[in-house]
Each structure stands twice: as C-alpha cells, then as structure tokens.
Amino acid sequence: MSQCVGVVDYGAAGNTFSIIRALEHAGAEPRVIKGPQDLSNVDKLILPGVGSFTDGMTELTASGMAVAVRDWAQAGRPLLGICLGMQILCDVGFEFGETAGLGLIRGEVRAMHCKGVVPHMGFNRVSVQGNSPLLRGLGDDDHLYFMHSFEVQNYTNIIGLTEYSGHQFVSAVQRDNVFGVQFHPEKSREVGIRIFQNYLSL
C-alpha cells in the first residue's frame, strides 16, 4: 500500500508540480497541502520551496501552515524540507532583513560567499556525514541538482556536506524526525528518486 505524502503548497514560494511527479515515480501517493485542514490521513510531509526566506515564511504564516508544520514535526512525524524548505526549518534567515524561521533545526541562513558564481547552480556531489537513512546508498559518483544563493550555517545536525569553488557548505541536515536537503531531489533524476524512496522507507 502506497504512502500518502503531503506536499505543502504555499503560493509563489512553492514548487510542487515536479515534486509530485517525482514522488509518484518513487511509489508514493502525493497530496497537495494548502492549509492545516488538508493534513488528515497524511503519512509524511514535504516542505518544498523556491525564492526568498522572507516570502516563504510570510506565505506559510498567512495560511496557518507555519504553526501546522511545526506542530507536525514536534509530534514526531517525518518532515522533509527541500531547498528553501530546508532553510525555513532553521531558527532565523538573513535575506532582506532578519526573519524568524520554524526553529526545528538549529542554524542560521546567510548569503553564500565564495570564489565561484552565486547562485550555485547545477549538479554537484554530497559527502555523506554519519549514517542517516535519508542518504542511504548515496555514493561519490552520484550528483544532485542545486540552485541557491543562501546556505544553512549549522554545526550540530549535519548529514551532508558539499564543496563548491573551494567553499564547503551544509547540503543536508537531520534532527530526529526532521530532515532537510539543499539540493532538489525532484530535479536529480534517478538519484533523486532514490532519496525520495529512502524517505518513504523511514
């Protein structure tokens, strides 16, 4: 029996369509979540996102989903943040000023500074740290798709690191039942499908 995975759709900050397609390939039954009332009968939750930290939090707060997502995670249910969704899991972001995040991952979101072109865009490797089930089977030859100009600065919940132009940044985090990835599994072909399958198998 396939699992029902909720994908939070929060206006301009959401990018749900490609994630829904990838989840279907991974064997899940995706459901679009627009408000707290849509969370019934959902097994796992995904918080996607593109755009700015400030806009994302504004959209989530206005729909009531900021509180709902926090309550979901604090109840011990599986939550996966993708790209901006990973960043919003953190305590605070500094894009267009200072904005409080969901506070589910200890960390700050700040502009990426390195010798390379920002935003960091394209396929890159993830160096797995520890033995998180989310990144199970991920090898040195696997490449995942990135597109971001801000990064999570965190020192306690790291499960993946990536190097870009001599700069190492956090590309995956986990705190108990809360997971986050800076890359886009839904744009990472077969490797991304495997990441979603790992999430489904939790």
DSSP secondary structure letters along 66-121 = HHHHHHHHHTT--EEEETHHHHHTEEEE-SSS-EE---SEEEEEEE---SS-SSEE
Query: Hunting for tokens 């999430």 — which residue is that?
Result: 199
Residue 14 has pLDDT above 90, yes or no: no
Instruction: Give the mean pLDDT of 163-182.
Output: 97
Whole-prediction pTM value?
0.96
Segment 29-38 shows an average pLDDT of: 96
Q: In the structure, what pLDDT confidence band is assigned to residue 153 with cuts at 50, 70 and 90?
A: very high
Between 149 and 155, the higher pLDDT residue: 149
* pLDDT at position 13 over 80: no
Q: What is the pLDDT of residues 48-105, one digit of tens each?
A: 988 899 999 999 999 999 999 999 999 999 999 999 999 999 999 999 999 999 999 9
- In order of their start, the domains of the chain are 4-200 (3.40.50.880)
Mean pLDDT over each residue of the chain, to the nearest integer: 95
Please give the radius of gyration of the chain, using alpha carbons only, rounded to the nearest integer.
Answer: 15
- 148 with 112: CB under 8 angstroms? yes
Active site residues per annotation: 83, 184, 186
Residue 33: what residue type?
I
H/E element holding 31? Answer: strand 29-33
Cβ neighbourhood burial of 130 (10 Å; 0-12, 13-18, 19+): exposed
* Predicted pLDDT at 143: 98
pLDDT band of residue 1 (cuts 50, 70, 90) is: low
**How far apart are alpha carbons 194 and 55 in whole angstroms?**
30
pLDDT at 154 over 90: no
